[in-house]
Amino acid sequence: MGMFETLILILDSTVRLAIPLMFAALAGLYSERSGIFDIGLEGKMLAAAFAGAAAAAVYGSAWIGLFFAIIVSTALALVHGFASITHRGNQIVSGVAINFIAAGTTIILGQAWFRQGGRTPALSAEGSRFTAIDLPFAEAVRDVPVLGLVYSELISGHSILVYLAFAAVPFTWWVLFRTRFGLRLRAVGENPGAVDTAGISVTWLRYRAVMCTGILCGFAGAYLAVAQNAGFVKDMTAGKGFIALAALIFAKWKPVPVMFACLLFGFLDAVAIRFAGIDIGLFEVPPQFMQSLPYILTVVLLAGFIGKAIPPKAGGQPYVKER
Amino acid sequence: MAAPYAKLPAWVDYGLIPLINVTVAFLVAGLVVLLVGENPVRAAQLLVQGAFGSGDGIGYTLFYATNFIFTGLCMAVAFHCSLFNIGGEGQAYVGGLGVAIVCLAFDSVFPWWINLPLATIMAALTGALWALIPAWLQATRGSHVVITTIMFNFIAASLMVYLLVGPLKPVGSMAPETRTFAEGAQLPRLDWMLEMFGLTIRSAPLNITFLLALAAAFGVWVLIWRTRLGYEIRTMGFSPTAARYAGINQTKVIVIAMMVSGAMAGMMALNPVMGDQTRLQMNFVAGAGFVGIAVALMGRSHPAGIIPAAILFGMLYQGGAELSFEMPTISRDMIVIIQGLVILFAGALEHMFRPTIARMFHMAGGGTLKPTPQPGE
């Protein structure tokens, strides 16, 4: 196989690996821009993956799976909202709690309902899984040099959720920067007092933001369990929620950079999976280093050595309305 | 921590409300048991019996509690400085490296009572070093310590995988672990201690690290409430602005608090690595770093609260293992749910029942709601 084909294959798996990150990072974007830190992305994604796979297996429909994934993930997002908005609890603590509740509940319920060691039944029935969509002419143009392969391998042949993820990026940008809701959402993350003074409910605005987070995490989980894989495996998110969080910070809380950050982290993962170790002449770079590179890069960025990542000003602080 | 609510008597603040919160957490956990079709009361009975019904049960309970005392103290020290050190897991993992280095180097040179202090120092040192960069970045560059310590957890996991499948693995072995330590790096069991109470122990790995954990708890109490540094840490945690006006060196306090926190996590590694497995294994921390969050929240970041909270979680771990034999649908992962619920109700929702309780007090006692001096502050 030539260099070019290898590159296309790596890029193809980059896209597949980046999609859950993209959904989850965009999810975090809504919440964090409204001033609610969310380290519970991982848990919501995991719970959504389980709910999606379980519902898709029981009802035999991928779309019903997606629906339940979104419901469960949004319910957890509302728990986070209840703790951190209504009861002004510590947002980090609440996020940690949600991660654990999701990690434990998915295994216990999975075992109790399906008795397959924490797995859900494999989604083999027609329509119970989001399958690859072949775009028009994908086969016909395959033999066209360079562009043919790019079109047929890289652009075509993904599931609907992949295209939705890419569509969610400009959509999020439009919502945040071109709608009244977006303006208020960003304002409430910077200066909730000013929003309150303008007569807009800080509480309701933030609740809507965490609901957006829940919905997008639902997509992320459904993609993992109902599109990328054919069923739920215990702990299948395996830290993706935290990589998404890293990507969100890496992208400085902006939608389009979020996409690129996720693609970069997906690429690093794809390379680490493809090559056991990379020989750069002097010594061999171990795959573990490639896998930890997203985290290292995020720390370096946070340290302010590549630009400065400034979080929303009111992030993490509960809003106390003056009486 | 600033309390945006009315003052209540100390026993309500430090006794009743935490108790209610934890009780609610366990009630919700009972609902989950009900949901999978088992009897929660019977499950609780089996759990307590598994944890305290035999000498071995108690031995295992205290063995797990040892881990959680260390990680609970790790979280507590950071909490007092109002830092959230999620990196206990990674710091403990790297602490295991410190333990292993000492053990691999000296296990056939020195007896255990020389190797133990050496390994303790190395474990504390490596754990503290793993907390140093996040601490320094928080103190000087304002990078949020929560995010950086999460990142360092993953970096630690990658590093340890690399070391355990590569340099630290003995030649010809397939398992990702070091060789078994010689006798000089195996800690003595505490069987005699339980035998004093007429209990017999066959396999429980309860070892001398338990006593070390109790000593560490006392040390943390002295540090936080009886030294100048502890005062500075608490001032910093209460109000960074006040600390700055008082001339406290913020960078120094943040870095030291985080390093003490990391050292506590690192020392946790002594218990499983030197006391039980006598080799360094992949994932030996197994979530104990995260249990520390629940333990510290439940124990209100005070050593006197952390020790019982750690024993409670030790009981859940040991009893949970026994329970899963009797009720196969309730595997040990049930503890993860309980842990999450405790963190939710005792941590994030700690103020949920407060207004109600305050109102009840108001109705019952009328004017007795004077602010009382709170012990331990």
Reported ipTM exceeds the 0.85 cut = yes
* pLDDT for position B375: 47
pLDDT-derived band at B5, boundaries 50, 70, 90 = low
The distance of A132 to chain B (nearest Cα, Å) reads 32
- The pLDDT averaged over each successive group of 10 residues in chain A (323 residues) is 80 91 95 91 95 91 93 95 89 90 90 83 80 76 75 80 93 94 92 90 93 95 90 88 88 92 88 71 75 84 72 81 68
DSSP string, A236-250: TTTTHHHHHHHHHHH
Nearest to B147 among A83, A239, A302 (CB): A302
A92 or B217, higher pLDDT: B217
pLDDT higher than threshold 60 for residue B3: no
Interface of A with B in 289-308 (CB under 8 A): 289, 291-292, 295-296, 298-299, 302-304
**B60-324 has which fold?**
ABC transporter involved in vitamin B12 uptake, BtuC (1.10.3470)
Interface of B with A in 2-31 (CB under 8 A): 4
Place of tokens 């106390």: A320
Instruction: Find the radius of gyration of the CA atoms of chain A.
Output: 20
Cβ pairs A/B, distance under 8 A: 151
What mean pLDDT do residues B225-247 have? Answer: 92
Beta carbons of B152 and B167 less than 8 angstroms apart: no
Beta carbons of A108 and A46 less than 8 angstroms apart: no
Nearest to B158 among A84, A288, A311 (CB): A288
Test the A interface: residue of B151, B163, B350 with most A CBs within 10 Å: B151
pLDDT higher than threshold 50 for residue B376: no
Residue of A nearest to B134 (CA): A299
pLDDT higher than threshold 90 for residue B343: no
* pLDDT for position A164: 92
pLDDT higher than threshold 50 for residue B164: yes
Is the CB of A284 inside 8 Å of chain B's CB atoms?
Answer: no
* pLDDT for position A184: 93
Inter-chain residue contact B337 with A291, CB threshold 8 Å: no
Interface of B with A in 118-157 (CB under 8 A): 133-134, 137, 141, 143-144, 146-148, 150-152, 154-155, 157
The distance of B272 to chain A (nearest Cα, Å) reads 23
Q: Spell out which residues of chain A touch residue B339, defining contact as CB-CB under 8 Å.
A: 100, 104
Interface of A with B in 221-280 (CB under 8 A): 239, 242, 245-246, 249
* pLDDT for position B377: 40
Q: Where are the domains of chain B?
A: 60-324
pLDDT-derived band at B252, boundaries 50, 70, 90 = very high
* pLDDT for position A276: 64
Inter-chain residue contact A104 with B143, CB threshold 8 Å: no
Beta carbons of A51 and A236 less than 8 angstroms apart: no
SS3 per-residue string spanning chain B: CCCCCCCCCHHHHHHHHHHHHHHHHHHHHHHHHHHCCCCHHHHHHHHHHHHHCCHHHHHHHHHHHHHHHHHHHHHHHHHHCCCCCCCHHHHHHHHHHHHHHHHHHHCCCCCHHHHHHHHHHHHHHHHHHHHHHHHHHHHHHCCCHHHHHHHHHHHHHHHHHHHHHCCCCCCCCCCCECCCCCHHHCCCECHHHHHCCCCCCCCCCCECHHHHHHHHHHHHHHHHHHCHHHHHHHHHHHCHHHHHHCCCCHHHHHHHHHHHHHHHHHHHCHHHHHHHHCCCECCCCCCHHHHHHHHHHHCCCCHHHHHHHHHHHHHHHHHHHHHHHHCCCCCCHHHHHHHHHHHHHHHHCCCCCHHHHHHHHHHHHCCCCCCCCCCCC
Nearest to B154 among A82, A104, A292 (CB): A292
pLDDT higher than threshold 60 for residue B71: yes
pLDDT higher than threshold 70 for residue B368: no
Inter-chain residue contact A97 with B347, CB threshold 8 Å: yes
pLDDT-derived band at B1, boundaries 50, 70, 90 = very low
pLDDT higher than threshold 90 for residue B63: yes
What mean pLDDT do residues B48-59 have? Answer: 88
d(CA A146, CA A148): 5
Residue of A nearest to B159 (CA): A288
Inter-chain residue contact A302 with B144, CB threshold 8 Å: yes
* pLDDT for position B21: 87
B4 or B355, higher pLDDT: B355
A151 or B97, higher pLDDT: B97
Nearest to A104 among B137, B293, B334 (CB): B334
As beta bridge partners, residue B281 has B177
Q: Spell out which residues of chain B touch residue A96, defining contact as CB-CB under 8 Å.
A: 86, 290, 293, 340, 343, 347
Inter-chain residue contact B347 with A93, CB threshold 8 Å: yes
* pLDDT for position B2: 42
B374 or B143, higher pLDDT: B143
The distance of A42 to chain B (nearest Cα, Å) reads 12
Burial of B92 (0-12, 13-18, 19+ CB in 10 A): buried
State what percent of residues in chain B have pLDDT above 70. Answer: 95
Domains of chain A listed by start with CATH number: 3-302 (1.10.3470)
pLDDT higher than threshold 60 for residue B369: no
* pLDDT for position A307: 64
Inter-chain residue contact A292 with B158, CB threshold 8 Å: yes
